[in-house]
Amino acid sequence: MPKVDRRVVKTQQAIKKALLELMSEKNFDHITIQDISDRANVNRSTVYLHYLDKYDLLDKMIDEHINELKETSEWACQEEWVDAIQIFVEYFEAHYLFFSTMLSSNEAIPSFRAKFLEYVIEGFKDEFHKTTGINEGLSEDIIVKFAANAYIGVLESWVKDGMPSSPKSIAKELGILMDRIL
């Protein structure tokens, strides 16, 4: 894989940060490429060099975080529930601006939440096959969707509430609940 120029990475980070900051201040529909370029301190053409438009920028940001979570989950799934969840919660904490913006912005929620839910459901399907007995006779699809929506709902509340408890604390409680469900 070719090495990416640090200036390109730095510029893309500035553009992404600018969009997140603007989304926390105003409606996504009212944000322009000029707003983004002004906030990132780059030319409009620089934004267009990296992204087709603001929707492409948002989609790429969402995909980037989902992909990073997928990479994290490959390692996390080898852990017990509490330890695996703590890895995720710490990722949310480390990327608070992104997740708080995605979860509090009315425009971003549907696309982010849908992709995140799809990712969590796929992960929980793998875990469901490892369990025996507790959910015998129940629909795998319903159990997995129930667990995934509950999991995401708790994470959403935790982020929206300003992360009032530690990652370890929220991971412990979620881990215990996931052990009971899956």
Nearest Cα to Cα of residue 125 among 77, 172, 79, 67: 77
Let me know how many helices (H) and strands (E) the chain has, helices first: 9, 0
pLDDT band at residue 74 using 50, 70 and 90 as cut-offs: low
* CA dihedral for 61, 64, 68, 70, sign (positive or negative): positive
| 3-state helix vs strand vs coil in the chain, percent to 5 | 75, 0, 25
Of residues 12 and 130, more confidently modeled:
12
Q: What is the pTM of this model?
A: 0.83
Give dist(CA 88, CA 153) in Å, integer: 14
Instruction: State the fold for domain 1-51.
Output: Arc Repressor Mutant, subunit A (1.10.10)
Give dist(CA 92, CA 108) in Å, integer: 16
**Integer-rounded Cα radius of gyration of the chain:** 18
% of the chain surpassing 70 pLDDT: 90
Q: Does residue 77 surpass a pLDDT of 70?
A: no
% of the chain surpassing 90 pLDDT: 53
Instruction: State the fold for domain 59-181.
Output: Tetracycline Repressor; domain 2 (1.10.357)
In the chain, what are the domain boundaries?
A: 1-51, 59-181
Q: Does residue 16 surpass a pLDDT of 70?
A: yes
